């Protein structure tokens, strides 16, 4: 099942730079692993903002929840989640 | 170039049913034509809402603007547009 | 899978009373049918508001979407949907 | 009487990790005690968010207030409270 | 038990004047009846706005819900409800 | 003249506990003094929130301003003020 | 005593033009009468908006309420009211 | 030309008290100087809030900008600016 | 002096098409006249929305107000106005 | 292609002054370089606010994103981005 997720990253300005860099590197590695596994199906940067729109393909809401809580930057993110389903006008087989 | 678009449809309750049905049918035909042409790349229903998240792949902001203004339901929609670009952590070739 | 749904009903003041009464009666019948079938698991009135909090237990987001679009009052409602999952502190077997 | 409560947890990033872990453990123990006693009737995680929807069954608003103020994470939460009552379309005996 | 209620009245401009006047007169009679019975304990106009702050003293949230739904102007009101309890610094016997 | 005041308390998490306790004790003493003097006419806790609804009976807006600025917790509060007047449907002599 | 009032006028588009013109003329006459009497002390157009910022000097909140409810355009306005008092840094004798 | 300005002061709780006191004293001196010069034409405290409504009479938006940036408390303020012009119903010569 | 203006057009769905077309044609003619005269310095469509960002170069806020109120679509627009001034980092001679 | 960007700067009050000054100087140098190169086409201060409205002329959303992320003050800014296109009523050759 598909979920649309918006993530906005807000790093505290007093976070030590090396902590920030490590978290960002970990986040990237984790995001790429999930993309290779097919669960993080789409990932776009919103132009000019430290934010992304993503689409996840997961077994359940519980799996989505587990993945998002594991994100290294999770506690510095504002996250919005919307469940998706096939649009009656869609002709794309993978938009479901 | 890619744009993320959220469309929320709000049909006036006193719109004649036959007008509404014709508009909805026209909207569907137009949406499917644009999907076949590749410019309306993704189209998802937001579960439980008369709304969708879409991704458009267009030549320019002007083309996006022209397409959205041509939507048969355009004047009954609240539309939000965000320009997208490749996310530095993305490994998907088509998310750009 | 479980979804938390908030529905706020806004009937246009110029809706003919007999139309409103028929819609409300149809809504009640449909809501009770879904409750008997087990998909509309909880239904509470928010005290003092023409609104409810509900919990649905459905097969998929698509099923939830289909059910909500079939609500007789659907087009007069503002609806918010949140996917639920088991809370790590929950001890209730049915809260999942 | 029933209350619908939404709790969103916002832990300050500079809270010492051991303080956070202790608070979270205390919160879990307290939440499970209240669930066993029947006052915290439902507890769901909102998928992908450090937040929950809950339903409390208490003697009075005063009791609800006392319980929420005792939550170990209370001062790190944004809380919304809505009084519930039986929905006229409800057939569930326990939704009241 | 006490509830704090804010009511904002929004009469449609095309409501026939005689309908409006009848509703307003009915509302006044009903409000005064509830005040005499002691359930509508306080009623203040918010200066300069077609709105009021009220405090109700009822048996239950269900009773509050029933009363508010019976208000002749109910469907032209935006209503916010907050459950109240005794403030730990209060010395007033009737603020509970 | 009467004013309706909503106060929401937001204590910084890094405020030393003894400072917080002293401020809270001072706040309580000051609130009770003003209640005994009749200027803080009503004080209710909003159930489940570190917040209150209050009604002040003062000589002028200047007096209200002076009192609120003297609150020991003033700088940790978000305050909303509404001037009240007698509601045309009110029968309570003290709601003015 | 002084009140700061923001008024935003929203005329329904289907209000008959002669009704609108009469209301606007009545509003102007009433506003100028109140200015001459000294109770409507300041009246500014917010540039580019069908809205004004005003300062009223009245005996009480009740008088302010009465005056605003008498405005011919009252029911087509969104009104915000704030009580004012002398600013500790003010040197203007009439700003109180 | 006239500008309506709303200033809300939010002092960080960990600002050293002597810094706060110096800033507040400097702000007062600067505000009174500008009032004497006629550019800060009105200054009202919003009752019960650490905030003011002001009217400035300046040569240009650039001058307004320069003055506001020079306010000692500028970086602790949330500021809203609206350009004003003569209201067609105004009879006050100085409201322009 | 320069003003930044955002205009969002919201045409009522029951506006007769010929009225809408005439208003839109009048709006275009008026907008082009003001552009030729140099007072409407910039005019951009916000992609995908019936809205524009504009920059006006006028003698005064009063002139801006007069021009905006003369817009044929004025009463169907939501308008936001911000006064502009030269940015300290600007090197463009015409951005002032 | 053109983008309209609003930037609001929020410097933490505990940022060391020399850090702030260096960042501001770097920001100015970078902004002027981009203006000379023609990509930062317009830059206006919003009067009285630590904020600007800007128009960028870039090759792609990706280039806009890269430029904004390189801004020395980027992580202290709230940024809103809107894609622009030629307005059908525009006569300015450079507003596209």
Verify E-I touch: 3 or more CB pairs within 8 A. Answer: no
pLDDT tens digits for range C2-27:
999 999 999 999 999 999 999 999 99
From chain E residues 53-72, the ones with a CB under 8 A of any chain G CB are none
Task: Report how far residue H56's alpha carbon sits from residue H64's, in angstroms, rounded to the nearest whole number.
Answer: 8
- Predicted confidence at residue A92, as pLDDT, reads 80
- Predicted confidence at residue E92, as pLDDT, reads 80
Q: How confident is the model at residue H46 (pLDDT cuts 50, 70, 90)?
A: very high
**For chain D, what percentages of helix, strand and coil (3-state, to nearest 5) are there?**
35, 35, 30
Task: Report how far residue C10's alpha carbon sits from residue B87's, in angstroms, rounded to the nearest whole number.
Answer: 41
- Mean pLDDT, range I44-55, rounded to an integer: 98
User: Is D5 near chain F, with CB under 8 Å?
Assistant: yes
List, in order, residues 6 or more apart from B85 with CB less than 8 Å away. A44, A45, A47, B2, B96, J60, J61, J62, J64, J65
Least confident span in G11-15, H4-8, H90-94? H90-94
For testing contact with chain B, the best of A37, A49, A95, A96 (most B CBs within 10 A): A95
Residue A32, number of CB atoms within 10 A of its CB:
15
G48, I12: Cβ pair inside 8 Å? no
Which residue in the set A61, A82, A84 is minimally distant from C84, CB to CB? A61
Q: Which of G17, G15, G5, G82 is nearest to G51 (CA)?
A: G5
Task: Using the predicted structure, report yes or no on whether residue J96 has a pLDDT greater than 70.
Answer: no
Phi-psi region of D32 (alpha: psi -120 to 50; beta: other; left: phi over 0): alpha
Task: Report how far residue G74's alpha carbon sits from residue A26's, in angstroms, rounded to the nearest whole number.
Answer: 59
Structure tokens at F19: 């400072």
> How high is the mean pLDDT of chain I?
96
Which residue in the set D15, D62, D65 is minimally distant from F13, CB to CB? D15
- Predicted confidence at residue B60, as pLDDT, reads 97
Task: Find the farthest-apart pair of alpha carbons in chain H and give their distance in angstroms, rounded.
Answer: 49
> How high is the mean pLDDT of chain B?
96
Least confident span in E85-94, G18-27, H1-10, H49-58? E85-94
pLDDT tens digits for range F1-38:
999 999 999 999 999 999 999 999 999 999 999 999 99
User: Is E2 near chain F, with CB under 8 Å?
Assistant: yes
Our CA-based measurement puts residue D47 at a distance from the nearest CA of chain E, in whole angstroms, of 27
Our CA-based measurement puts residue G94 at a distance from the nearest CA of chain I, in whole angstroms, of 26
Task: Using the predicted structure, report yes or no on whether residue E95 has a pLDDT greater than 80.
Answer: no
Which residue in the set D3, D12, D81 is minimally distant from F49, CB to CB? D81
- Predicted confidence at residue H51, as pLDDT, reads 98
Q: Are D43 and C87 in contact (CB under 8 A)?
A: yes
Which residue in the set B13, B48, B50 is minimally distant from C81, CB to CB? B48
Task: Report how far residue C58's alpha carbon sits from residue C4's, in angstroms, rounded to the nearest whole number.
Answer: 11
Q: How confident is the model at residue A96 (pLDDT cuts 50, 70, 90)?
A: low
Task: Using the predicted structure, report yes or no on whether residue J74 has a pLDDT greater than 90.
Answer: yes
Residue A59, number of CB atoms within 10 A of its CB:
10
Q: Exposed, middle or buried by CB within 10 Å (0-12, 13-18, 19+), for D24?
A: middle
How many interface pairs between D and F have CB atoms less than 8 angstroms apart?
Answer: 27
- Predicted confidence at residue C92, as pLDDT, reads 80
Q: Are F84 and F2 in contact (CB under 8 A)?
A: yes
pLDDT tens digits for range F71-87:
999 999 999 999 999 99
- Predicted confidence at residue H96, as pLDDT, reads 65
- Predicted confidence at residue F93, as pLDDT, reads 73
User: Is E22 near chain F, with CB under 8 Å?
Assistant: no
Residues of chain F positioned with their CB less than 8 A from the CB of E36: 91
CA distances from H17 to A2, A6, H22, H71, I27 (A): 53, 41, 9, 18, 56
User: Is H10 near chain J, with CB under 8 Å?
Assistant: no
Q: Exposed, middle or buried by CB within 10 Å (0-12, 13-18, 19+), for B87?
A: buried
> How high is the mean pLDDT of chain D?
96
Q: Are B53 and A82 in contact (CB under 8 A)?
A: yes
pLDDT tens digits for range E37-67:
999 999 999 999 999 999 999 999 999 999 9
Q: CATH number of the domain at J2-84, please?
A: 3.30.70.1060
Q: Which of I1, I13, I15 is nearest to I56 (CA)?
A: I1
Structure tokens at J65: 């994103």
- Predicted confidence at residue J93, as pLDDT, reads 73
Residues of chain H positioned with their CB less than 8 A from the CB of F62: 47
Q: Are H11 and H76 in contact (CB under 8 A)?
A: yes
Residues of chain I positioned with their CB less than 8 A from the CB of J4: 44, 46, 53
Q: How confident is the model at residue D96 (pLDDT cuts 50, 70, 90)?
A: low
- Predicted confidence at residue B96, as pLDDT, reads 66
Task: Report how far residue G56's alpha carbon sits from residue G58's, in angstroms, rounded to the nearest whole number.
Answer: 6
Question: Quick one: how many helices (H) and strands (E) in chain D?
Answer: 2, 4
- Predicted confidence at residue J32, as pLDDT, reads 97
Q: Exposed, middle or buried by CB within 10 Å (0-12, 13-18, 19+), for D58?
A: buried
CA distances from J93 to I7, I52, I94, J5 (A): 21, 16, 16, 20
Residue H80, number of CB atoms within 10 A of its CB:
12
pLDDT tens digits for range C43-88:
999 999 999 999 999 999 999 999 999 999 999 999 999 999 999 9
Q: Where are the beta strands (DSSP E) in chain D?
A: 2-9, 40-46, 51-57, 77-86
Which residue in the set G13, G45, G49 is minimally distant from I12, CB to CB? G13
Task: Using the predicted structure, report yes or no on whether residue F96 has a pLDDT greater than 80.
Answer: no
H61, I81: Cβ pair inside 8 Å? no
- Predicted confidence at residue H93, as pLDDT, reads 73
Our CA-based measurement puts residue B15 at a distance from the nearest CA of chain C, in whole angstroms, of 12
J68, A45: Cβ pair inside 8 Å? no
Backbone angles phi, psi at E73, to 5 degrees: -95, 10
Q: Are B87 and B79 in contact (CB under 8 A)?
A: no
């Amino acid at each position: 099942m598909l979920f649309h997720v918006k993530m906005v990253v807000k790093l505290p300005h007093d976070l030590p730079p090396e902590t920030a860099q490590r978290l960002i590197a970990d986040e990237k590695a984790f995001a790429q692993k999930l993309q290779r596994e097919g669960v993080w199906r789409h990932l776009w940067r919103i132009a000019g903002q430290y934010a992304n729109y993503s689409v996840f393909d997961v077994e359940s809401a519980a799996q989505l929840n587990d993945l998002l809580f594991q994100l290294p930057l999770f506690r510095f993110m504002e996250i919005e989640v919307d469940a998706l389903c096939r649009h009656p006008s869609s002709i794309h087989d993978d938009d479901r």
